Structure 1
Amino acid sequence: MRLKGISCLTAGILMSYSAIAQPLSKEAGWEFTLSLNVGYSGGESQFDTDSDNETTNDLNNNGQSQSSTLAYPLGRVQYTLDSLKTQFFLGNSREQVSTAQFQYELGIVHQFNNDSKLTFAVFPKLSMLNETWEDPFLVGSDRQTTDEKVGGGRIAVERIFGSPLTLKYAIASSSIDNERSGQSQLTDASEIASLQRDSVYQRVEVETLFPVAKGILLKPNLQYTHRNAEGNANSYDNYTVQLSILIFRDRHTLITTINAGTRTYQQINPIFDAKQNLNHAGIFSIYSYKRPFDWDRWTWTMMGGYSQENSDISFYDSKSFIVSTGLLYKF
């Protein structure tokens, strides 16, 4: 399943208007947002745990091509205090720091009089829908899945002192229940240890926002992510540049984000006797139309995305795409 990209895209719809200064909510009290979606996804990755990808005949390919239809609900619950300046929320995380596919977060956001906002959020270690192979390098036999648990927190300071500048920091830890990476290929204990995937991720982001025409804004973003894995062959530094184009026209909203980056690993991977470097790029787009057929509280959404990773080691090459449509309702 490729719910990581879906979750981020839909969460972007749930929070799309947070990019421009406005009250956290129009009125105090509870608000519920539910999004019901159907779509189609596919791609190629050795770490896709679909059943057709259980067996690999060699380590010089990036997995079987997979595609599937899907249906999924996503949502957000929030409570705004009478001042309309403080809000508590629970919903799908749009600030992924690690490899988790699906994550909920609980947080609080406060808006100051100068329109700046401070957000704290935590996401507990859950294994729901997050799984990986026990030993990704097993050849000629069915690979077994195991749960991956991810938890952490984040802080964001948006529109600092009323300016268009935003700073974000996030940290997450991940653990694999049954970690057997490399045990089918290696006998040296130190080499097997270098493939351990339990990790701590840290990410720092800086972004800004500026108008280019009426109803059109640009949001550039720079990210630095450091993964400190228990096995140094999986530790890396990742640099990403991202640009979002936001278009608002009456009931219509279109947000398109393009990104590109590079990832440098710290140590030679003993399976391939090479140190991995990787380039990645992607494009994601979300369109929403408020009050279709003049239905109050409803929003129609269309989403699509494509991402690709090109590694020095072909085993780690991957590509994925998602197209989806659905209806969002605010209670």
Structure 2
Amino acid sequence: MKKFNLAVLAATISTGVGAGELAKPGFSGELMAMAGFSSTESNFNTETESKVGLLNTEAESQTEAILAPLGQVRYTFGRSSHHQVFLGTSREDIAVGDFVLEAGYKFGLGTNSSIAASYLPSVAGETWKDPFVTGKREVADISSSAVRLKYENILDSAFSVDLGYYTSEVNGENSGASLNSGSAINQLDRDGNGLYAKFSYTHSLNQTSIIEPSFTYKSFSADGEAMSNNVYGTELSYKKFTKRHLFALSASYSKTNYDSENVVFGKTQNNNTYDVFAAYEYDKFMGWENWALNGIAGYEVTSSNINFYNEKELMLGVGMSYKF
């Protein structure tokens, strides 16, 4: 799933740094801990040990508690504070529900523009070695990594672009083995690499709120032709600052088209995904300097022409963050 990872709200209001400065010189950042729960309906959720009933049916709902840390550490330097190295999860990403751990370098130029290059290290997860099995299934590790280039406020304009290249690998990939067909295994191989592009425009409604429409495109080239796909999406985000309160609300839609027929189900997969995500931050909670109360809520639905790939996810969380 793309979204619903623990988040804090992005502070989009100016913090008083000078033209071209990325931040005040030295170390800065935020650290956060959040607790919550998620409810998931997905045939790829490894918390459900067995697939019950017919294969081409939706998954049963599974609920689990979540407790995890988040944050980012930055070091700003240079004569005009135009240089910055960073490690962690950026507030801008997680304000709309995206969780990406990255390490990189950012360079400020012009009045408001900046260019950042980063590496997103391999993050391990779990999936099924062969998801097309009824009864008990075998778990496999899945890992992915990426490189990213982000140009914010291009030439001091309101336009930004975010580009990426990523790889994904399933350890012991064995999709389709239950069909006893070598050709099926080859067509369903999920290992591969992809490209990502996001184009956005930021419009200030007033001194305390902004709206940001964006368009995304993803292309994934899998070793198995039936798993290769193209994704076209759009997103609209609204962010509001009032006194010590910060709000962010985003909604998105994406269409995923696969390249060839899935031999398990006898048709080419097509998905439609809708999601909404909200985040809230109460700065200086209880009068505590540098501390904030955070809350998030998100809901995502994927509707596919193959019932097996239908998914739903609900996530709620609350936590505290410390800024320095």
**In the alignment, is residue 149 of structure 1 matched against residue 143 of structure 2?**
yes
What is the identity percentage for the equivalent residue pairs of Structure 1 and Structure 2?
28
SS at match of 1:293: helix
Q: How far is the alpha carbon of 1:64 from its aligned partner?
A: 1.4
Distance in structure 2 (CA, Å) of the matches to 1:216 and 1:61: 43
Q: In 2 relative to 1, CA 301–274 (structure 1 residues): closer, same or farther, beyond 3 Å?
A: same
Cα deviation per residue 1:84-109 (whole Å; 9 max; x = unaligned)? 2211011036899xxxx975210111
**In the alignment, is residue 241 of structure 1 matched against residue 240 of structure 2?**
no
Which of these residues, 278, 291, 296, is aligned with residue 284 of structure 2?
291
Residue identity in the other structure for 1:105: E
Identify the residue that residue 170 of structure 1 maps to in structure 2.
164
Residue identity in the other structure for 2:117: F
Identify the residue that residue 321 of structure 2 maps to in structure 1.
328
Distance in structure 2 (CA, Å) of the matches to 1:84 and 1:78: 12
Q: TM-score, normalised by structure 1?
A: 0.90
Conserved in 1, the CA contact under 8 Å of 2:129 and 2:140? yes
Identify the residue that residue 113 of structure 1 maps to in structure 2.
110
**In the alignment, is residue 187 of structure 1 matched against residue 180 of structure 2?**
yes
Q: In 2 relative to 1, CA 133–177 (structure 1 residues): closer, same or farther, beyond 3 Å?
A: same
**In the alignment, is residue 54 of structure 1 matched against residue 47 of structure 2?**
no
For the aligned residue pairs, the C-alpha RMSD in angstroms reads 2.1
Cα deviation per residue 1:34-53 (whole Å; 9 max; x = unaligned)? 11111121020001111x34
Between 1:285-294 and 1:105-114, the stretch displaced more is 105-114
SS at match of 1:161: helix
Identify the residue that residue 86 of structure 1 maps to in structure 2.
83
Q: In 2 relative to 1, CA 113–5 (structure 1 residues): closer, same or farther, beyond 3 Å?
A: same
Q: How far is the alpha carbon of 1:123 from its aligned partner?
A: 1.3
Residue identity in the other structure for 1:6: N
Matches within 5 A, 1:30-69: 30-50=27-47, 52-69=48-65
Distance in structure 2 (CA, Å) of the matches to 1:77 and 1:89: 6
Q: How far is the alpha carbon of 1:26 from its aligned partner?
A: 4.5
Provide the aligned length of Structure 1 versus Structure 2. 316
Q: In 2 relative to 1, CA 214–94 (structure 1 residues): closer, same or farther, beyond 3 Å?
A: closer
Which of these residues, 148, 151, 159, is aligned with residue 153 of structure 2?
159
Identify the residue that residue 5 of structure 2 maps to in structure 1.
6
| Unpaired runs of at least 5, structure 1 | none
Matches within 5 A, 1:220-299: 220-299=213-292
Distance in structure 1 (CA, Å) of the matches to 2:191 and 2:90: 21
Q: In 2 relative to 1, CA 232–3 (structure 1 residues): closer, same or farther, beyond 3 Å?
A: closer
Residue identity in the other structure for 1:31: S
Distance in structure 2 (CA, Å) of the matches to 1:175 and 1:26: 37
Which of these residues, 111, 128, 132, is aligned with residue 133 of structure 1?
128
Distance in structure 2 (CA, Å) of the matches to 1:270 and 1:314: 15
Specify which structure has the bigger relative contact order, considering alpha-carbon pairs within 8 angstroms and separated by 6 or more residues: 2
Distance in structure 1 (CA, Å) of the matches to 2:138 and 2:32: 33
Distance in structure 2 (CA, Å) of the matches to 1:268 and 1:94: 40
Cα deviation per residue 1:179-226 (whole Å; 9 max; x = unaligned)? 111101x22312210000002121111100112234121100000111
Distance in structure 2 (CA, Å) of the matches to 1:37 and 1:106: 22
| Unpaired runs of at least 5, structure 2 | none
Residue identity in the other structure for 1:273: G
Q: TM-score, normalised by structure 2?
A: 0.92
Structure with the bigger percentage of strand: 2
Distance in structure 1 (CA, Å) of the matches to 2:298 and 2:177: 35
Residue identity in the other structure for 2:55: L
SS at match of 1:5: coil
Q: How far is the alpha carbon of 1:19 from its aligned partner?
A: 7.6
Q: How far is the alpha carbon of 1:286 from its aligned partner?
A: 0.6
